[in-house]
Amino acid sequence: MGKKNVKVGDEVQNKQVIFKDYVTGSPKESDFHITTCTTKLQVPQGSNAVLVKNLYLSCDPVMQFQMRKMEDPLSGYIYYVPGSPINGFGVAKVLDSGHAEFSAGDLVWGTTSWEEYSLIQNPEQLKKIHHTDVPLTHYTGILGMPGITAYAAIYEVGVPKKGECVFISAASGAVGQIAGQFAKLLGCYVVGSAGTQQKINLLKNKFGFDDAFNYKQEPDLDAALKRCCPEGIDFYLDHVGGKMLDAVLLNMKVHGRIAICGMISQYNLDEPELLRNVMLLALKRLTVKGFTHRDHHHLYPKILELVLPYIRDKKIFYVEDIVEGLENGPAALVGLFTGRNFGKQILALPPQ
């Protein structure tokens, strides 16, 4: 017999992924442990919180920063507390609500904890899901934070024009695959880099990139970029930093633009790699802008208006790597930093 359906007011076993202690260097599976506590499925009287059943949890590179003990914490980031569940973006179903904007049965996406059931104390950050004719998993990716990031990169920050050369590092990842397809739809020549031949094939055969290369197989990144972008790069979307960014500077066109939303190659180094070609920023009159999704959530209705028809008409594809069960969450999250994932990494939880 299957589990009986739970209802508001029930006490249930709630499996959680607990953060053990602050991390230095690369995170490991042993930095987390799985536990189970008892949770009452009810919003406390007088609270405006929302109680949810988590359905899908998002694994994102930024979560590594949240594992560190920061002497000077960055504004807008929620740092993990040792002994408590980690958190991140996820898709959930509302079971009980003390907030006027949410009702039992609503599907939402936003920040939630890595556990089966979460009491969300700041529900104003949640977004209701109104379009369920597309996979719910997409709200951790193309219709969630990575989608907002990719839209901002192409339509707000870089603004590439038809015929321009766009280069994207970590191009098969959660943001890169969307940004590359946006650029193709604008008529750009799009090149990407990734870390396996399987990912290169995905870029060229599934996402329509004009060219791509496996950076792990290239002894000379400058030569690889000159081969793929012989006339130079107009716009570079940087997810990796380090040696790739240094090589890109050699290949940027005069008045080119660089948008930086990540530097995953630098996250686990004791000392960041030095950039040797920084003088080219001046000589080539380059524009460099750092950005994150945080400044662009007000554009979300506009993003849905653009992206939903593309998904429905199969003009944009989105590849997801779905792992099942909270107990497999730490391995999935840690795998992001070695490129073990194939597409957007998602953790699926059993339904209620």
Whether pLDDT at 237 is above 70? yes
Residue type, position 231, single letter: E
**Are 57 and 174 in a shared domain?**
no
Segment (H or E) for 292: none
Task: Give the per-residue pLDDT at 3.
Answer: 52
Mean of pLDDT values over 226-254: 98
What is the C-alpha separation between 284 and 201, in angstroms, rounded?
Answer: 33
Whether residues 117 and 159 share a domain: the answer is: no
Asked if 260 and 286 count as a contact pair (C-beta separation under 8 A), the reply is no
Alpha-carbon gap, residue 171 to 215, rounded angstroms:
11
Mean pLDDT of the chain: 95
Q: In whole angstroms, give the CA distance from residue 47 to residue 88.
A: 22
Which amino acid belongs to residue 190? Answer: V
What value does the mean pLDDT take over residues 281-286?
A: 98
Q: Read off the CATH number of the domain in which 287 is found.
A: 3.40.50.720
Residue 135 and residue 93 share a domain? yes
- pLDDT-derived band at 21 (thresholds 50, 70, 90) equals very high
Assigned domain for 55 exists: yes
Q: Which two tokens stand for residue 200?
A: 């290169």
Q: Report the pLDDT value the prediction gives residue 222, as an integer from 0 to 100.
A: 98
Number of domains making up the chain: 2
222 with 119, same domain: the answer is no
178 occurs within a structural domain? yes
CA distance 241 to 247: 10
Mark whether 188 and 227 lie in a shared domain. Answer: yes
Residues 169 and 123 in one domain: no
The answer to whether residue 1 is domain-embedded is: no
Q: Does 329 lie in the same domain as 201?
A: no
Residue 203 in domain: yes
CATH assignment at residue 27: 3.90.180.10
Residues 33, 159: one domain?
Answer: no
Do 64 and 110 belong to one domain? yes
Structural domain containing residue 167: 145-294
Any domain includes 2: no
Q: How confident is the model at residue 116 (pLDDT cuts 50, 70, 90)?
A: very high
Rounded to 10 deg, the angle between the 176-185 and 197-205 helix axes is 30
Q: What value does the mean pLDDT take over residues 259-278?
A: 89
Q: Angle, nearest 10°, between helix axes 221-228 and 242-251?
A: 50
Q: What is the pLDDT of residue 2?
A: 44
Is 304 part of any domain? no
Q: Is the pLDDT of residue 1 over 60?
A: no
Asked if the model's pLDDT at residue 131 lies above 50, the reply is: yes
Residue 59 pairs in a beta bridge with none
In-domain check, residue 303: no
* Average pLDDT score over residue span 92-106: 97
Which residues partner with 190 through β-bridges? Answer: 166
pLDDT, position 258: 98
Residue appearing with tokens 């960041």: 272
Question: In 3-state terms, the chain is what percent helix, strand and coil (to 5)?
Answer: 30, 25, 40
pLDDT over 80 at 72, yes or no? no
Is 282 a residue whose pLDDT tops 90? yes
